[in-house]
Amino acid sequence: MNQMKGAQSVYFNEPVKILSHAGAGGKMEGDGPLGKHLDLIVEDPMFGRENWEESESQFLKTAGEIALRKAKKKKEDVRMAFAGDLLGQLIGSSFGIRQMDIPFYGVYGACSSVGAALSVGAMAVDGGYADLALSACSSHFASAEKEFRFPLGYGSQRPYSATWTVTGAGAFLLNKEKGDTAIRGFTTGKIKDYGVQDPFNMGASMAPAAADTIYQALEDFGKKPEDFDKIITGDLGTVGQKLLFSLLGDNHVNISGNHMDCGMEIYNEKKQDIHAGGSGCACSALVLSAMILPKLASGEWKNVLFVPTGALLSQVSANEGRTIPAIAHALWLTKAEPDSQPQKKN
């Protein structure tokens, strides 16, 4: 049976299982509503390192190590790692993975990177190319501000449409055999560009990509929005959410009853001064590890469409006055059937 579904999606005959996962965050993330569900909170934004970038790499490595420990696996057991981050040339990932000495492919989709890492990792596991894959990503408030906007030392003010880059990393171990939760399928996103040029308003640039991918996932899998307990976008924030509803509404799709946005869950909007919500690769990754997977594992939710979103800008493209293209990848996540046996191939 062909595993391709519709125009852009893949359905696994046997869901790929999430063996273990870990989320490590900074102080702000620890103070937020999901703080108690994180595996590690590191109060020192430098994580004992010399600069923000090394700190971010340390978050990535540490999250990977916690996921391995929870699964009683060693780093030598990881057959392929897929990781990405927001920094130029993915130095957050490469300096973090370097210390683990495991086979590695960098993947990139800005804040949607966890979606890319999980989709490609799931293919690697399902196809029998990797018995254990690590999908991970990281971001760091300070390294991201330096990379995209202004170094913190400038003391620049942030407009209300700006999001706050999450500091931390999420790591997910994928395999065929064991796990409470699973990847049932995924939808590969296309790049969408509606001409937004304001790097302080990434929600608006990403909403069209999210709308496109959600619409396509529902089409490809033959589902209605209410077939999912939740449809969860990455980091559209309060500004992007309105636009998402409007764009899907134009296509007669209403997800307002079961939509959630990771960027609106990770911080306490009233108590924490984060403006339009959280963002960054670690935003979706931490909410996935600290909230979505636990609720699937407990049975509170049965099916989730997880749609991390990414704005594909760079400092260079922004300085050149170019628009901000965006992408979103969707993952259909479920509770794993305890009695399901992985399908034997040959």
What is the greatest pairwise CA distance in the chain?
61
Q: Is 229 helix (H, G, I), strand (E, B) or coil?
A: coil
Does position 298 bind its own copies by CB under 8 A? no
In the set 252, 316, 338, 341, which binds its own copies (CB under 8 A)?
Answer: 316
Closer CB to its own copies, residue 64 or residue 109? 109
Could you tell me the CA-to-CA distances from 200 to 48, 163, 196, 324 in Å, in that order?
30, 7, 10, 11
Query: Pick from 167, 162, 116: which is nearest to 144 by CA?
Result: 167
Say whether residue 97 binds its own copies (CB under 8 A). Answer: yes
Segment contacting its own copies by CB under 8 A, of 188-196, 221-229, 295-303, 333-341: 188-196
Residue type present at position 264: M
- The stretch among 19-27, 32-40, 61-69, 87-95 that binds its own copies (CB under 8 A) is 87-95
Residue 167 DSSP one-character state: P
Q: How many residues bind its own copies (CB under 8 A)?
A: 64
Which one of 43, 153, 222, 320 is in contact with its own copies (CB under 8 A)? Answer: 320
Stretch that binds its own copies, among 90-98, 152-160, 196-204, 290-298 (CB under 8 A): 90-98
Could you tell me which stretch among 91-99, 149-157, 227-235, 257-265 binds its own copies (CB under 8 A)? 91-99
Place of tokens 């969860």: 232
Tell me if 73 contacts its own copies by CB under 8 A: no
Helices of type H across 10-82: 27-31, 52-70
The reply to whether 108 sits near its own copies by the rule CB under 8 A is yes
CA 214 to CA 269: how far, in whole Å?
Answer: 26
Q: Which residues, in sequence order, are CB contacts of 249 under 8 Å at separation 6+?
A: none
Neighbour tally for 262: CB within 10 Å:
33
CB of 234 to its own copies, least distance (A): 15
d(CA 18, CA 8): 23
Contacts made by residues 125-131, CB under 8 angstroms, sequence distance 24+: 125/16, 125/174, 125/175, 125/176, 126/3, 126/12, 126/14, 126/16, 126/176, 128/345, 129/79, 129/80, 130/79, 130/80, 131/79, 131/175, 131/176
Q: Kindly identify the residues of this chain, within the stretch 122-161, that bind its own copies according to CB under 8 A.
A: 123-124, 126-131, 146-147
For position 120 contacting its own copies by CB under 8 A, the verdict is yes
Choice between 33 and 342, CB closer to its own copies = 342
Please say which residue, 25 or 84, places its beta carbon nearer to its own copies. 84
Our finding on whether 86 is near its own copies (CB under 8 A) is yes
Interface pick for its own copies out of 80, 142, 274, 328 (rule CB under 8 A) = 80
Q: Binding residue for its own copies (CB under 8 A) from 44, 69, 103, 160?
A: 103
Q: Which position among 91, 152, 253, 297 is part of the footprint of its own copies (CB under 8 A)?
A: 91
251 counts as binding its own copies under rule CB under 8 A: no
The CB-of-300 to its own copies minimum distance in angstroms stands at 30
Beta carbons within 8 Å of 55's beta carbon, 6+ residues apart = 45, 46, 47, 49, 140, 142, 143
Which of 191, 197, 251, 273 forms a contact with its own copies (CB under 8 A)?
Answer: 191
Positions that interact with its own copies (CB under 8 A)? 1-4, 8, 10, 50-51, 53-54, 79-80, 84, 86-91, 94-95, 97-98, 101-110, 116, 119-120, 123-124, 126-131, 146-147, 188-191, 193, 312-317, 320, 322, 325, 327, 329, 345-346
